[in-house]
C-alpha cells in the first residue's frame, strides 16, 4: 500500500494497464508532449511512445470517433476529455455509436472504450467548465458511468473500466486531483464496476453521496455525531450499473435517507436514487427521502456565488436533521 494523490493513482492505473495489454492506448488533446492538462498522463509518452499516446487536434467528435473505431477492431482506447464539458461536442459519437453498436450489431461488435476526464464543480472555471455531466449519460442504455471518490477508487475502477468490454464514461474531478490516500500497488488490484461502499457506519440516517459531496458529507457526519446523530454514508462509486442493493440495505437499517449531489436537482442522480428507495423500501422509511442538490442555475464564476450554487455543509446538515426530526427539523 502506498500513499499517493488521486492524479497519481489514475496515472498508475493507465501505466499498469498499458504494460499489461499492448492493445491499450491513450488519445486526446495534449496527452503526450504536454503530459495532460491535469498531468494524469505524465510520463506515458516517454515510456510507450507516440503510437500509444496520441496527441490530437481540438476535435472531440473526431478523436472520439477514432477511439470507437479502434475499439471495434480489438483495441482498448482511453479517450481523454480535457474537461468533460467538452464531451458535449462528441455526444453523437458516444450516444448514437459507442452505446448502440453492440445492440445494433447483434453482439458482433463490442466497444471497449473508456472516455475519461474531469467534470463537475471546480474552482472558478465558470459555467461552461463546471457542469456535472453524469446526468447526460447515465440514462443511455449501453453506457456505464463511473465517478470515483478516492485515490484507491480512481485506480481500481479505472483498471476495471479499461478491461470492460462496454463503453465506460469515467468522470473525475479537478478538485480531487491533489487529494491523497492509500492505494494498493498490486497491479492486479481491481474494484468491480457496480459495487458501492459504505464510507462510514451509522444507525440513524443514510446519506448517499459521491465525489466531492462525499467528503463534505463525511465532515457533516463528524459534526452531527456531537449532537447524537449517527450518520451512515454510502458512496455508489458506479452510477450505472448502480449497486441498489447496498443502498437499500443501508436505508432498511437506518430508516431514513438523504441524497446529495452537486448537479442541478431536476431529473438528477438524486431523483433516481430517491425513486428506487421509495419504490423498494417505502415501508422501512420513517421520513420522506430528502435531496440536497446544486442550485438550478449555471455555475457562476464569482467564488462567493459558486459556493451558493453547490450544496453546503449547512444544507446537508439541515436535511439530515429534518429526516431525523432533530433540533426542530
The model's pLDDT over 256-271, given as tens digits with 9 standing for 90+, comes to: 999 999 988 888 999 9
Active site residues: 60, 129
Q: What is the pLDDT of residues 59-81, one digit of tens each?
A: 999 999 999 999 999 999 999 99
Please tell me whether residues 128 and 37 are part of one structural domain: yes
Same-domain check for residues 173 and 226: no
Name which of 201, 203, 209 is nearest 228 in CA terms: 203
Query: Last residue of some domain: 183, 210, 237?
Result: 183
Asked whether residue 29 falls in the same domain as residue 169, the answer is: yes
Looking at residue 265, its pLDDT comes to 83
Indicate whether 118 and 206 sit together in one domain: no
- Is residue 123 domain-resident? yes
For the beta carbon of residue 192, count every other beta carbon within 10 angstroms. Answer: 13
- Statement: residue 185 has pLDDT above 90: yes
Residues 205, 266, single domain; the answer is yes
Dihedral over alpha carbons 318, 242, 15, 189 (to 10 degrees): 100
Query: pLDDT tens-digit profile of 271-296?
Result: 999 999 999 999 999 999 999 999 88
Residues 93 and 212 in one domain: no
Say what the pLDDT of residue 328 is: 55
Residues 41 and 99 placed together within one structural domain of the fold:
yes
Taking the C-alpha atoms of residue 142 and residue 94, their distance in angstroms, rounded to an integer, is 10
Domain-located, residue 329: no
Residue 207: CATH number of its domain: 3.40.50.920
122 and 235, same domain (yes or no) = no
Is there a single domain that holds both residue 231 and residue 294?
A: yes
CA distance 289 to 253: 14
For residue 115, give the C-alpha cell: 472516455
* Residue 67: inside a domain: yes
Residues 209 and 167 in one domain: no
pTM above 0.85, yes or no: yes
Q: How many domains is the chain partitioned into structurally?
A: 2
Give the residue ranges of DSSP H helices in the chain: 6-20, 44-48, 60-72, 91, 101-104, 134-137, 151-163, 212-225, 244-254, 269-281, 303-309, 313-323
Between CA 275 and CA 281, with CA 280 as vertex, the angle to 5 degrees is 100
Q: Is residue 151 part of a domain?
A: yes
Where in the sequence is the domain holding 282, given as residue range(s)? 197-323
Q: Are residues 143 and 230 in the same domain?
A: no
Residue 328 lies in a domain: no
Kindly report the CATH number assigned to the domain that includes residue 66: 3.40.50.970
Report whether 137 contacts 145 (CB < 8 A). yes
- pLDDT at site 120: 80
Establish if 191 belongs to a structural domain.
no
160 lies in the same domain as 211: no
Amino acid at each position: 500500500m502506498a500513499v499517493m494523490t488521486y492524479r497519481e493513482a489514475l496515472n498508475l492505473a493507465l501505466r499498469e494497464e498499458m504494460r499489461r495489454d499492448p492493445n491499450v492506448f491513450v488519445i486526446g488533446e495534449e496527452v503526450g508532449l504536454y503530459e495532460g492538462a491535469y498531468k494524469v498522463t505524465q510520463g506515458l509518452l516517454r515510456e510507450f511512445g507516440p503510437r500509444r499516446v496520441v496527441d490530437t487536434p481540438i476535435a472531440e467528435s473526431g478523436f472520439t470517433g477514432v477511439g470507437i473505431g479502434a475499439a471495434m477492431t480489438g483495441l482498448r482506447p482511453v479517450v481523454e476529455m480535457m474537461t468533460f464539458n467538452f464531451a458535449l461536442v462528441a455526444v453523437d459519437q458516444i450516444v448514437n455509436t459507442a452505446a448502440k453498436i453492440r445492440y445494433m450489431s447483434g453482439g458482433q461488435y463490442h466497444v471497449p472504450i473508456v472516455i475519461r476526464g474531469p467534470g463537475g464543480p471546480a474552482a472558478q472555471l465558470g459555467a461552461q467548465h463546471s457542469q456535472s455531466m453524469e446526468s447526460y449519460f447515465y440514462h443511455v442504455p449501453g453506457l456505464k458511468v463511473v465517478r470515483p471518490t478516492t485515490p484507491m477508487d480512481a485506480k481500481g475502477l479505472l483498471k476495471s473500466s479499461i478491461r470492460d468490454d462496454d463503453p465506460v464514461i469515467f468522470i473525475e474531478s479537478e478538485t480531487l486531483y491533489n487529494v491523497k490516500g492509500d492505494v494498493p500497488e498490486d497491479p492486479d488490484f481491481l474494484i468491480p464496476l457496480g459495487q458501492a461502499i459504505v464510507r462510514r457506519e451509522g444507525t440513524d440516517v443514510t446519506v448517499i453521496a459521491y465525489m466531492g459531496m462525499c467528503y463534505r458529507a463525511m465532515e457533516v457526519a463528524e459534526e452531527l455525531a456531537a449532537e447524537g446523530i449517527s450518520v451512515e454514508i454510502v458512496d455508489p462509486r458506479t452510477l450505472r450499473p448502480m449497486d441498489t442493493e447496498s443502498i437499500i440495505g443501508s436505508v432498511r437499517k437506518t430508516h431514513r435517507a438523504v441524497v446529495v449531489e452537486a448537479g442541478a436537482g431536476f431529473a438528477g442522480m438524486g431523483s433516481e436514487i430517491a425513486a428506487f428507495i421509495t419504490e423498494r423500501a417505502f415501508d422501512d422509511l420513517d421520513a420522506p427521502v430528502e435531496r440536497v442538490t446544486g442550485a438550478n442555475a449555471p455555475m457562476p464564476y464569482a467564488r462567493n456565488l459558486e459556493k451558493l450554487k453547490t450544496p453546503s455543509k449547512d444544507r446537508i446538515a439541515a436535511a439530515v436533521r429534518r429526516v431525523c426530526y432533530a433540533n426542530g427539523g
